[in-house]
């Protein structure tokens, strides 16, 4: 009910007015019916032109996900291809696009590795997260490069109540898994803060089959996370703030190829692991200059550090990337029907690695690259229809100027139904790894470009039933792929095409809350006609939950059809279905017990394969996933 009291006044205000008073942006992060990532401003979900899914902290507590990727797998149109147990590298495919074609933000800051394009989502602690927003479809006008498939934004924990509020969580589960976290939040009328720390550990499972005796071990995972959010209202119209998220630890994995021993002249086994750090820090000033003009300036820095080691040798390799950024946005209300978003972005990526990224080009080392941009978006809204038209100009140090357009026409059929027709363009500059990684790179790569078309229907069928559907098409030009028969050297294909349909149904019946997500896609390389790797054509996700006074119960079902692990469509991955159960019991206002069982039926399945040189090589086999696992937890939130 406390969230509902926040929601009513917020949702009755115009979108840009939501930022007018102290802390209303932080309060909005608690609400399920608003979205911030679509236009970098608070607006009602139903007013956003982007197909979106929102998970609040209440949703996270109810669903009890073990990781961010576990949460994302519930989103229609989002597929996760894990390469082992907890801490393993995931592929994130939004609407059939690959990991590097979707943008991941933490509190507004890009966190992707500038070398690989991966964002290290497997290393983010769920306990340090307040909210996750997923935008499906290109948002390149607002965010520029990488936002072809969509945007995932993660917001760190926030405080919304005055006073001091501690919290403590302890959990234990299968595979000697431990979860420990503590936090402290507080504030007054002018200042708010939230400080949290967590330690997650698991013995893990053996991700691959035994190629060497050294492979026959469990691949453990350890994560230490720290988050800090601080905001202070200098005046009624000016707020400043600081955000920090830091995750670091150790993740063990297998290398079935082994390490080449020059003395023995053969491959020998390894026990490799990664020392990793994923961090993001930002500060901002948010000011209401007058009744029609809101401005926000953000400065950010993110790091993605990766040091690979081997317990059985002295081998060490380092891949570190760093990013500095400045974002400035202005929200202008022209009149009751017209509004503008004007902004500018700048960021610079830097790479530090053991490998040779120092390709000489016009006398410059290819270890850094900047990008600067300006964008404008106009919105017209009336009772009869509304429009949104945006333009962005990016200038990349390496690839020059890039222009992207987007437009949306919204037609309200009646108060409960609306239809949206949209067009959007996007682009992605190749990563440092695409261009310069030794042995599997291509310095002559061109940027990828996309054009997307979408038809949405949103309907409030009854007071307790909501349906949202999307029919879309994405055309990729100069898509970058790395094929097995070409020794995984990336190159630009002529084009790729993705057709898809998504549907989300939310229903409340007899006290049960259900969330059903369905996605059907056809992603193809138009040059070869093959299905894009690791994309299942059909996915379904269902969550059922009910609260019986102090007892909460829930169940999840996920079904995924078959896919191919390689671009040549020779390595087939079978479909699978997973069932999970969960429950919580409030012993008192301060103590909550929780328990869950994932993969209740103990299904054997795989979302990725390990491949050597040839599609039929004997060492090609599936990465192992966890079987039936359980987790028990206790959360204590003392009141003062």
What tens digit of pLDDT does each residue of 378-409 get?
Answer: 999 999 999 999 999 999 998 889 999 999 99
What percentage of the chain carries pLDDT values higher than 70? 92
Q: What is the pLDDT of residues 308-318, one digit of tens each?
A: 999 988 889 89
Q: What is the pLDDT of residues 476-501, one digit of tens each?
A: 999 888 766 566 788 888 789 999 99
Q: Over range 267-280, report the average pLDDT.
A: 91
How many whole angstroms separate alpha carbon 108 and alpha carbon 106? Answer: 5
How many whole angstroms separate alpha carbon 375 and alpha carbon 40? Answer: 12
Within a 10 A sphere around the Cβ of 639, how many other Cβ atoms?
9
How many whole angstroms separate alpha carbon 505 and alpha carbon 540? Answer: 11
Q: Mean pLDDT score of the chain, rounded to an integer? A: 89
For residue 327, give every residue at least 6 positions away whose Cβ sits within 8 Å of its Cβ, in sequence order, or none: 40, 108, 296, 297, 298, 300, 343, 344, 345
Bridge partners of 278, per DSSP, are: 247, 304
| Residue 464 CB-density burial (10 A; 0-12 exposed, 13-18 middle, 19+ buried) | exposed
Half-sphere exposure of 544 (CA within 13 A, CB side): 10
How many whole angstroms separate alpha carbon 366 and alpha carbon 5? Answer: 53
Residue 23 pLDDT level (bands cut at 50, 70, 90): low
What pLDDT score does 357 carry? 53
The listed CATH number (2.40.170.20, 1.10.340.70, 2.120.10.30, 3.40.50.300) that belongs to domain 2-636: 2.40.170.20
How many whole angstroms separate alpha carbon 624 and alpha carbon 605? Answer: 7
What pLDDT score does 256 carry? 79
pLDDT at residue 3 is higher than 60? no
Residue 614 pLDDT level (bands cut at 50, 70, 90): very low
Question: Which carries the bigger pLDDT value, residue 89 or residue 215?
Answer: 89
Q: What is the pLDDT of residues 318-328, one digit of tens each?
A: 989 999 999 99
Q: Where are the beta strands (DSSP E) in 237-292?
A: 238-252, 259-261, 266-268, 272-290
Full DSSP string of 346-380: EEEEEEEESS----EETTEETTEEEEEEEEEEEEE
- Helices and strands, number each (H, E), in the chain: 6, 41
pLDDT at residue 259 is higher than 90? no
pLDDT at residue 5 is higher than 50? no
Contact 134, 150 (CB under 8 A): yes
What pLDDT score does 493 carry? 80
Residue 356 pLDDT level (bands cut at 50, 70, 90): low
What pLDDT score does 612 carry? 53
Q: What is the pLDDT of residues 186-241, one digit of tens each?
A: 998 899 999 999 999 999 998 887 777 777 889 999 999 999 999 999 999 999 99
Residue 611 pLDDT level (bands cut at 50, 70, 90): low
What pLDDT score does 13 carry? 43
pTM: 0.93
How many whole angstroms separate alpha carbon 218 and alpha carbon 311? Answer: 14
Residue 117 pLDDT level (bands cut at 50, 70, 90): confident
User: Strands 102-106, 34-35: parallel, antiparallel or unpaired by DSSP?
Assistant: unpaired
Helices (H), 139-255: 140-143
Residue 363 pLDDT level (bands cut at 50, 70, 90): very low
Contacts 24+ apart (CB under 8 A), 455-463: 455/419, 455/420, 455/421, 456/51, 456/419, 456/420, 456/421, 456/422, 457/417, 457/418, 457/419, 457/420, 458/46, 458/417, 458/418, 458/420, 459/416, 459/417, 460/416, 460/417, 461/416
Question: Which carries the bigger pLDDT value, residue 409 or residue 354?
Answer: 409
What pLDDT score does 361 carry? 46
DSSP code of residue 216: S
What is each CA distance from 502 to 77, 426, 521, in whole angstroms? 6, 21, 9
Contact 15, 34 (CB under 8 A): no
């Amino acid at each position: 009910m406390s969230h509902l009291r926040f929601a009513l006044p917020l949702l009755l205000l115009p979108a840009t007015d939501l930022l007018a008073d102290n802390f209303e942006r932080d309060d909005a992060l608690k609400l399920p019916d608003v979205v911030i990532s679509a236009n970098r401003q608070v607006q009602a979900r139903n007013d956003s032109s982007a197909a979106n899914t929102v998970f609040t902290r209440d949703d996270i507590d109810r669903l009890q996900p073990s990781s961010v990727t576990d949460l994302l797998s519930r989103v229609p149109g989002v597929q996760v291809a894990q390469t082992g147990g907890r801490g393993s590298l995931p592929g994130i495919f939004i609407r059939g696009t690959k990991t590097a074609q979707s943008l991941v933000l933490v509190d507004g800051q890009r966190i992707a590795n500038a070398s690989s394009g991966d964002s290290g989502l497997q290393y983010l602690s769920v306990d340090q997260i307040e909210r996750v927003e997923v935008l499906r479809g290109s948002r390149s006008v607002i965010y520029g490069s990488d936002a072809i498939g969509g945007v995932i934004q993660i917001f760190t924990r926030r405080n919304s109540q005055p006073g001091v509020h501690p919290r403590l969580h302890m959990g234990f589960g299968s595979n000697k898994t431990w979860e420990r976290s503590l936090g402290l939040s507080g504030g007054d009328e002018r200042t708010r803060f939230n400080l949290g720390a967590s330690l997650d550990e698991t013995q893990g499972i053996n991700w691959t089959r035994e190629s060497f005796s050294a492979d026959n071990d469990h691949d453990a995972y350890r994560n230490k996370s720290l988050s800090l959010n601080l905001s202070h209202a200098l005046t009624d119209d000016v707020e400043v703030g600081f955000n920090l998220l830091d995750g670091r630890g150790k993740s063990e994995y297998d290398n079935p190829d082994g390490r080449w021993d020059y003395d023995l002249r053969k491959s020998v086994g390894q026990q490799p692991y990664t020392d990793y750090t994923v961090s993001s820090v930002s500060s901002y000033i948010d000011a209401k200059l007058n009744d029609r003009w809101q401005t926000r300036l953000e400065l950010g820095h993110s790091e993605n550090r990766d040091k690979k080691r081997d317990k059985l040798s002295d081998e060490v390799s380092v891949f570190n990337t760093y990013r500095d950024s400045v974002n400035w946005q202005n929200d202008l209300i022209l009149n009751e029907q017209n509004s503008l978003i004007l902004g500018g972005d700048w960021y610079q990526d830097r790479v530090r690695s053991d490998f040779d990224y120092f390709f000489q080009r016009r006398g410059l080392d290819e270890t850094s690259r900047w990008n600067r941009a300006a964008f404008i978006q106009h919105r017209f809204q009336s009772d009869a229809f509304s429009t949104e038209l945006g333009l962005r100009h990016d200038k990349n140090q390496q690839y020059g100027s890039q222009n992207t357009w987007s437009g949306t026409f919204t037609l309200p059929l009646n108060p409960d139904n609306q239809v949206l027709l949209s067009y959007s363009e996007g682009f992605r500059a190749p990563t440092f790894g695409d261009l310069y990684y030794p042995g599997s790179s291509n310095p002559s790569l061109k940027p990828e470009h996309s054009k997307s078309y979408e038809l949405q229907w949103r309907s409030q069928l009854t007071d307790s039933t909501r349906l949202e559907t999307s029919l879309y098409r994405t055309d990729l030009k100069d898509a970058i792929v790395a094929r097995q028969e070409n020794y995984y050297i990336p190159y630009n294909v002529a084009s790729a095409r993705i057709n898809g349909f998504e549907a989300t149904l939310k229903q409340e019946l007899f006290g049960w809350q259900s969330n059903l997500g369905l996605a059907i896609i056809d992603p193809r390389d138009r040059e070869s006609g093959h299905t894009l790797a690791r994309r299942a054509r059909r996915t379904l996700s269902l969550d059922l939950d009910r609260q019986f006074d102090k007892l909460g119960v829930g169940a999840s079902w996920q079904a995924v059809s078959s896919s191919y692990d390689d671009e040549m469509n020779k390595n087939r991955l079978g479909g699978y279905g997973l069932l999970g159960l969960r429950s919580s019991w409030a012993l008192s206002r301060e103590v909550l017990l929780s328990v869950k069982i994932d993969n209740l039926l103990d299904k054997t399945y795989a979302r990725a394969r390990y491949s050597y040189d040839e599609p039929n090589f004997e060492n090609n086999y599936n990465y192992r996933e966890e079987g039936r696992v359980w987790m028990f937890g206790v959360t204590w939130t003392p009141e003062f």
